[in-house]
Every structure is written in C-alpha cells, then in structure tokens.
C-alpha cells in the first residue's frame, strides 16, 4: 500500500516552454501533497504544499507564477514549470500525506527535468 506515482520520470525541453509533472496517490486519498526540489548530493528542499480544493502554499523564495500547482482531486496534484530556463533543471519529487492512517508522507519516484 501507500504507493505514489509521478509522471514523467524524465523530461527534456527547450528553454521557454512549459512542462507539467503529475503526482498521483494510487491506493489512498491525499488531501495534502508536497513538492520538493533536490539538487545533486543535497537534501530535499520543500517548494510548496498542495491542498486539495485550495491554493497551494509556497515556501519563501519559490516563484508561484513559475511553479504552478493544481491539486484537482484527492489523488492528483500537478506541478507546471512555466517558461522553463536552464536554471530550472533539477530533480523534482512529490509526496502525498496519508493523513487517514499514518500521518506519513509517501514519495513518488521523482522527475528529472533538463532544460536546454
């Protein structure tokens, strides 16, 4: 149980284009999901908290207009990187909070974004 999928697993795009990443909780409902960014050999950096049916809460320094988050249902949150630039290249990871049973975050496998 407690499986979270993330799609795509990797994406390469041209500078200036937008990229959408999907995060799904497959076997539980998640009213809260989280988006992280991870640089090589570093820990996870929280970007935003996504709540179903409401606006996402962004961490300080994260541009909400660049990283659009939509939590459309209890099992799906999306992160759209708008007008991507090479400095947005990174590893993006989502997690879903299993608040019903364990108050534990379960993580997706991550998405490697490369912007050319």
Partner 1 sequence: AQTVTQSQPEMSVQEAETVTLSCTYDTSENNYYLFWYKQPPSRQMILVIRQEAYKQQNATENRFSVNFQKAAKSFSLKISDSQLGDTAMYFCAFMKLGSGSGAGSYQLTFGKGTKLSVIP
Contacts to partner 1 by CB under 8 A: 32, 34, 38, 42-44, 46, 49, 51, 91, 93, 95, 97, 99, 102-107, 109-110
**Minimum distance from residue 20 beta carbon to partner 1 (Å):** 20
CB atoms within 10 A of CB 101: 9
Cβ neighbours for 104, distance < 8 A, ≥ 6 positions apart: 2, 97, 98
**Residue 104 or 114: which CB sits closer to partner 1?**
104
Which of 31/82 has CB closer to partner 1?
A: 31
The answer to whether 77 touches 94, Cβ cutoff 8 Å, is yes
CB of 14 or CB of 40, closer to partner 1: 40
- Tally Cβ neighbours within 10 Å of residue 108: 26
């Amino acid at each position: 149980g407690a499986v979270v999928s993330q799609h795509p697993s990797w994406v390469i795009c041209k500078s200036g284009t937008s990229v959408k990443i999907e995060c799904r909780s497959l076997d539980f409902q998640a009213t809260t999901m989280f988006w992280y960014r991870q640089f090589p050999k570093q820990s996870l950096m929280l970007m935003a908290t996504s709540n179903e049916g409401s606006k996402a809460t962004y961490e300080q320094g994260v541009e909400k207009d660049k990283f659009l988050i939509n939590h459309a249902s209890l099992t799906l949150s999306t992160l759209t990187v708008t007008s991507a630039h090479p400095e947005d290249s990174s590893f993006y990871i989502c997690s879903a909070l299993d608040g019903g049973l364990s108050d534990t975050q379960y993580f997706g496998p991550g998405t490697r974004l490369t912007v050319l």
